[in-house]
Amino acid sequence: MHADGNKEWLLRDGCRLYHLSPQPLRQDGAMKFSAALMHHLEWKVRLRSAIDERRTQDVREASDHRCCTLGVWFNGPARERYGHLDCYRDCYEKHVRFHDEAGKVVQCIDAGNEAEARTMLGLSGSFSQASNVLIESMKQLNQLAKLDV
């Protein structure tokens, strides 16, 4: 584990998991919904910082839905517990799409196309739309699975 100020990276399966907020995964593999939501929202903060600081990002990490805490949960404990639920599969698919959009933003940042990256992160941008759709799907999964319990 490497700590740098308020940011923390954990290496898992070759991916750096980036965290600002408390860990949403509990020891028993359950997910704390509010913390999972915060981890998801941190992506926008991370990408805006990359634009502002002109800092390149790892496209593979941003694009790989398995490289974030939510992805680790989706591909492990959640699949075992909720894989039979339609709302799990829907949320999983939206999570994959969200990371596709995150990867596109990172490609723009790395290519120096900051204006396009900012547009994608804007309210009606493709990243923000994918993020909002995922949040709604996460809320539905939370209602059915009672993730905070």
pLDDT digits (tens, 9 = 90+) for 25-54: 555 556 677 777 887 888 899 999 999 999
Tally of structural domains, the chain: 1
C-alpha distances (whole Å) from 7 to each of 11, 18, 74, 83, 132 are 13, 7, 23, 32, 24
3-state SS class at 137? helix
- List the single range of 22-36, 61-75, 95-109, 113-127 with lowest mean pLDDT: 22-36
Give the structural domain span for 86. Answer: 2-145
Residue 18's H or E segment, with its range, is: strand 15-19
How sure is the predictor about 6, in pLDDT bands with cuts at 50, 70 and 90?
very low
**Does the predicted model carry a pTM greater than 0.85?**
no
CATH of the domain at 45: 1.20.120.30
Rounded CA-CA distance 24/22 in Å is 6
What does pLDDT average to over the chain? 81
